[in-house]
Amino acid sequence: MESQIEIYKGSDGQTKIEVKFEQDTVWLSQEQIADLFDKGRSTITEHIGNVFKEGELEEQVVCREFRHTTPHGAIVGKTQKKIISTII
């Protein structure tokens, strides 16, 4: 079974999250964390930066980069890769 996190807005307009665990680890992108807490991504980035700066967590231990392939915005049929940092 592959790990999967689904974040969506329900019919009531509230953010809904479905999480599937694999080996007790869940990875969230900063955008997903922002959706989860209904905050802007820049706010989440600032808070995470402070956590690392204050030594509460080690960035090398709790962060991982994933590559996502997305459709190219200007060229039909072409894709592009985007690196996304995620937090455990």
> pLDDT at position 50, please?
92
> What pTM did the predictor assign?
0.55
**30-79 pLDDT, tens digit each:** 877 888 788 998 999 899 889 989 999 888 777 777 666 667 777 777 77
Q: Indicate if the alpha-carbon torsion angle 46, 88, 18, 71 is positive or negative.
A: positive
> pLDDT at position 82, please?
67
Place of tokens 């967590």: 57
Band (pLDDT 50/70/90 cuts) for residue 3 is low
* CB-based contacts of 25, cutoff 8 Å, min separation 6: 3, 88
> pLDDT at position 70, please?
67
Q: Helix (H, G, I), strand (E, B), or coil: what is residue 31?
A: helix
Task: Kindly list the distances between the CA atom of residue 26 and the CA atoms of 63, 64, 87, in Å, as whole numbers in the listed order.
Answer: 11, 12, 8
